[in-house]
Amino acid sequence: MTQKSTKWSGSTSKTRPQVTKRKRLRENVPDFITVLEWPPYSPDLNPLDYSIWGYIESIACAEPHESVKSLKKAIKKAWDEMVKRVVDSWPGRLQACVNAEGGYIE
């Protein structure tokens, strides 16, 4: 944060104003999470990266449909099953990511 604005700016400059920002945040925001504590971005933990569309298509279109209504019903059922599968697989994926120290797991 700056004196002139209340907007957060994560930008850096050669004078390293972010050090002052981080210090101010640590002093004034009890739950401030430092950069070193941020979890790394892992596409393996992104629920939309679980081959979602291929899975939905393979389940919903496993058999031909006689109507749009039937197709929509099959897509909804496949979606609901996929959500359960993603939720159930989350702890294992998270542990695999931790074991790989944030590296690729698949």
pLDDT digits (tens, 9 = 90+) for 49-87: 657 788 888 999 999 999 999 999 999 999 998 888 888
Give the per-residue pLDDT at 2.
43
- Mean pLDDT rounded to a whole number for the chain: 76
Confidence of residue 6 (pLDDT cuts 50, 70, 90): very low
3 state DSSP class of 61: coil
What is the identity of the amino acid at 81?
Answer: E
- pTM here is 0.45
Q: Token pair for residue 61? A: 């279109």
Above 70 in pLDDT, residue 88? yes
Cβ burial of 75 (10 Å; 0-12, 13-18, 19+) is middle
Question: Averaged over 35-48, what is the pLDDT?
Answer: 64
Radius of gyration of the chain (CA): 22
CA–CA separation, 16 vs 23, rounded Å?
12
